[in-house]
Amino acid sequence: NSSISQVDPEIAALLDGELERQRGGLEMIASENFVPKAVLQAQGSVLTNKYAEGYPGRRYYGGCEWVDQVENLARDRAKALFGAEYANVQPHSGAQANAAVYQALIKPGDTVLGLALDHGGHLTHGMKINFSGRFYHAESYGVDPDTFRIEPEIIRQRALETHPALIIGGWSAYPRIEDFAAMKEIADEVGAKFWVDMAHFAGMVAAGLHPSPVPYADVVSSTAHKTLGGPRSGFILARQEYAKKLNSSVFPGNQGGPLMHVIAAKAVAFKLAGTPEFKERMERTLEGAKILAERLMAKDVADNGITVLTGGTDVHLVMVDLRNSEMDGRQGEDLLARIGITVNRNTVPFDPRPASVASGLRIGTSALATRGFGPAQYEEVADVIGTALAQGPQADLDALKARVDRLVEAFPLYPELDQTH
């Protein structure tokens, strides 16, 4: 028997442990999801053996007749799903997709203008020790200090001050919809390119429940594994005029051989994201986030100095503001972990606490929607979270954990998998 449990029982046991962890709690990290079995199968396939540097029909290796068809299907499905003229499905990750976007659109040393990291931007949007901040001159815009929203006029002022070659839209921790048309206008006004990183909200765009950046942005990048629910990886969409530059920027500019098993899994995910079932799941995701925001704005929570940034959400996540609470982000994260709910602490704009502690919690609803949650279950989990945050460590944690356990049992995860091997 050459199965992993025979070959490497240590790793096999760890895989089983992780499966049980995912099954046994409520996953509310906004960037995570559960892939379907079909995606697991594609990723665990013999395609991992194949080198295929280059692009379909133009490879630097023989034996690509099957993987060429895989990549063509993935590209065609991505283009159809998002209404894009061009797709590149080779980026190994979101960060690598973004590295390729920079390389295709601008030169080292050029100025870029993105959402500040501590206001919800991503590392690859100009953080100092990320490649984006080291090789490019990174400037940032922040949210409005009163509304906590991204306001086009603030971006415009910053763009007029900093003369960027590239304006970046998209975010990692922001609960509202950006105005892509206004951002494109600003980019045109200052002669900048416009790139949107839709990693977080790509699933909603696919389902038609969030405006698409594709008609406005020169280039759109994304991950496949957040709301979109595919394998961990990235992809890029653009108008045909950028095709050559983006292709050479991904390979050989930033990567060697594409991960064909992951590209197959992306193809599966793009297919599924076009179905009515996926749209219905995204609707539950959004409804769940609204239910959660409502509960976290109730009096018992507010009385403890805890609020919801922007007073609600348009997307799959809620940003909890703990700046006026005795509980900091780390304590909030730990408290929810004790009752079986996984979230991550996050800085909020104008955060007085250091990032390692933070004054925010980012709580997402997409993984639970994949698990099958609907409004009734979101009401229950929202009340559990609201009660825990309002009462702190004094809450009856055993009782809250029992409520979480009941939800977990009612919605089994991967019932078709006995174990991971």
User: Least CB distance from residue 199 to ligand PLP, whole Å?
Assistant: 4
Q: With contact defined as beta carbons under 8 Å apart, do 167 and 186 qualify? A: yes
Burial class (CB in 10 A: 0-12, 13-18, 19+), 345: buried
Query: From start to end of 130-224, where are the E strands?
Result: 137-141, 166-170, 193-197, 219-223
> How far is residue 286's CA from residue 204's CA, in Å, rounded to a whole number?
9
x/- track of binding to ligand PLP for residues 285-304 (CB under 6 A): --------------------
By the rule CB under 6 A, 359 interacts with ligand PLP: no
User: Least CB distance from residue 149 to ligand PLP, whole Å?
Assistant: 17
Q: Is 123 annotated as a binding residue?
A: yes
147 is catalytic: no
Q: With contact defined as beta carbons under 8 Å apart, do 70 and 47 qualify? A: yes
Cβ distance to ligand PLP smaller for residue 29 or 154: 29
**Catalytic pick among 27, 179, 197, 380:** 197
User: Least CB distance from residue 142 to ligand PLP, whole Å?
Assistant: 16
Cβ distance to ligand PLP smaller for residue 125 or 284: 125
Cβ distance to ligand PLP smaller for residue 197 or 380: 197
> How far is residue 363's CA from residue 366's CA, in Å, rounded to a whole number?
10
174 is catalytic: no
Quickly count: other Cβ atoms within 10 Å of residue 109's Cβ: 9
Cβ distance to ligand PLP smaller for residue 365 or 377: 365
By the rule CB under 6 A, 43 interacts with ligand PLP: no
> How far is residue 226's CA from residue 60's CA, in Å, rounded to a whole number?
32
Alpha carbon of 185 to those of 155, 159, 192, 205: distances in Å?
11, 11, 10, 21
By the rule CB under 6 A, 124 interacts with ligand PLP: yes
**Continuous segment of H or E residues that includes residue 104:** helix 94-105
Which residue in the block uniquely carries the two structure tokens 């030169």?
A: 107
Using CB under 6 A, which of the segments 184-192, 196-204, 238-246, 347-355 binds ligand PLP? 196-204
266 is catalytic: no
Q: With contact defined as beta carbons under 8 Å apart, do 143 and 149 qualify? A: yes
Q: Is 230 annotated as a binding residue?
A: no
Q: How many of the chain's residues bind ligand PLP (CB under 6 A)?
A: 14
x/- track of binding to ligand PLP for residues 96-115 (CB under 6 A): --x-----------------
218 is catalytic: no
Q: Which of residues 141-160 bind ligand PLP (CB under 6 A)?
A: none
Cβ distance to ligand PLP smaller for residue 23 or 266: 266
* DSSP one-letter code for 87: E
141 contact partners, CB below 8 Å, separation of at least 6? 113, 114, 115, 116, 150, 154, 155, 158
By the rule CB under 6 A, 200 interacts with ligand PLP: yes
Cβ distance to ligand PLP smaller for residue 28 or 64: 28
> How far is residue 353's CA from residue 360's CA, in Å, rounded to a whole number?
10
184 is catalytic: no
197 is catalytic: yes
User: Least CB distance from residue 362 to ligand PLP, whole Å?
Assistant: 10
Two tokens at 122? 């991503």
**Catalytic pick among 149, 232, 279, 330:** 232
Exposure pattern of 288-314 as b/e (b: 16+ CB <10 Å)?
A: bbbbbbbbbbeeebeebebbbbbebbb
By the rule CB under 6 A, 347 interacts with ligand PLP: no
> How far is residue 252's CA from residue 242's CA, in Å, rounded to a whole number?
16
Residue nearest to ligand PLP (CB): 94
Cβ distance to ligand PLP smaller for residue 123 or 302: 123
Side chain identity at residue 235, one-letter code: F
Using CB under 6 A, pick the residue from 78, 84, 87, 95 that binds ligand PLP.
95
The residues annotated as belonging to the active site are 51, 53, 197, 223, 226, 232
Residues that bind ligand PLP (CB under 6 A): 31, 93-95, 98, 122, 124, 170, 172, 197, 199-200, 223, 234
Q: What residues form the annotated binding site for (6S)-5,6,7,8-tetrahydrofolate?
A: 117, 121-123
